[in-house]
Amino acid sequence: MASLSLFSLFCVFSFLLGMAHAQLSSNFYASSCPKALSTIRAAVNNAVAKERRMGASLLRLHFHDCFVLGCDASILLDDTASFTGEKTAGPNKDSVRGYEVIDTIKSQVESLCPGVVSCADIVAVAARDSVVALGGPTWTLQLGRRDSTTASLSTANSDLPGPASDLSTLISRFSNKGFTTKEMVALSGTHTIGKARCTSFRSRIYNETNIDAAFATSKQKICPSTGGDNNLSDLDETTTVFDNVYFRNLKAKKGLLHSDQQLYNGGSTDSIVETYSTNSATFFTDVANAMIKMGNLSPLTGTNGEIRTDCKKINGS
C-alpha cells in the first residue's frame, strides 16, 4: 500500500513536471499580447541599427541569464540594500551590456499589454532577433517564461565559462547544463559577432604560442601589456555579420580568446570546427537548435516567479 502511494506521488510529480514544460509554447502571446513579438523585433532592429555591437550584447545577455539558474531574467535585477543580484559577478561586471535596450522594450510592451510579457521572454526574443538582424539564422522560440524573484551572484561566478577556459572546462561547463560538445562548439561560434576587452585576451596575445604571429602583433597595438584593460577588439574581422568566419580564424590560429583557440588546438573538437568553417549552413542549423535548447533551460512557468513590471526590480520592492 505504501509503495502504491509512493508510485502515485511519483506519477503526480512527473505529470506536474511535464505540465511545467508544456506551459511554454511558441504562440504563448498570440491572444494575450499579439503585437509583443513584432514590438520586440522593431526595437531590436532599431537598437542594432544604431550600434551593430548591440546585437552581440543582447545575445550574450541571454546566455549569461540562462546559464545561471535558468532563463529567468535574474541577470537584470539591480542590487539593493537588502538584495544582491548578478550584475557585479566577475563574468558580468563591466562586461554585460544591453540592459537599457531591454528596459526600453519592456516599457513599450507594458504600454500594450500591462503585466503580460515577462522580462525573461523579452531577453530570449531579443537575442534571437539580434542574430537575425546581423544576418544569422532564425529559430522558433518557446515562450511563457516567468521572471525570478531571486538571483545568485555565486552561481554566476561559478557556472559561466570564462575567456581563459581550457577545452576540458568548456566541455564540462556546457555538459553541466545538458549540452553536447558539438552544441558547445556551435554556441561558441556566436563569437562571430561582438567585441572583447583587452583584459580578456592580453595573456593570449603576449604569452601563447598557438597564435598567428602577425595576428598577435596587430592585437598588441590595441592591447598594451599593461594598461588599456577596456580597449576593445573585434572577435573576428566580420564582427557585425553573423557568419562562420570565426571558425576559419580558429583554423588559422587567429582565435582572439584563449577559450576560442582551445576549440581548434589538436583536441576532440577540431573536426567540428573544420566542418563549420566550410559549411555555414550546418553551423546555422546547429547553432539555432542549440539556442532553442538554451532558451529552454529551467524556465519558471505556471505560478512560479512573476511577471515583473520593471525588469530591474522585483515587484513590490
Q: Determine whether the annotation assigns residue 161 to a binding site.
A: yes
- Choosing from 21, 62, 64, 258, the catalytic residue is 64
How close are the terminal C-alpha atoms of the chain, in Å?
A: 47
Known binder of ligand: residue 243?
yes
Residue 86 among known ligand-binding residues: yes
Query: Any known ligand binding at 62?
Result: no
Of 283, 289, 60, 71, the residue nearest 177 (C-alpha): 71
Backbone dihedral region of 48: left (phi > 0), alpha (psi from -120 to 50 degrees) or beta? alpha
Q: What is the Cα gyration radius of the chain?
A: 20
Is-catalytic flag, 21?
no
121 assigned to a ligand binding site:
no
DSSP-derived secondary structure letter, 190: G
- Does residue 103 have a known ligand-binding role? no
**Residue 79 is labelled as binding a ligand:** no
Residue 72, annotated as binding a ligand: yes
70 is in an annotated binding site: yes
**String of DSSP letters for 201-246:** HHHHHHH-SSS-HHHHHHHHHHS-SSS-TT-EEESSTTTTS-SSHH
d(CA 133, CA 273): 24
Instruction: Tell whether 148 is in a known binding site.
Output: no
- Which residues fall in the annotated binding site? 65, 68, 70, 72, 74, 86, 161, 191-192, 236, 239, 243
Annotated binding site for substrate: 161
Catalytic annotation, residues? 64
Binding site for Ca(2+), by residue number, is 65, 68, 70, 72, 74, 86, 192, 236, 239, 243
**Which positions make up the binding site for heme b?**
191
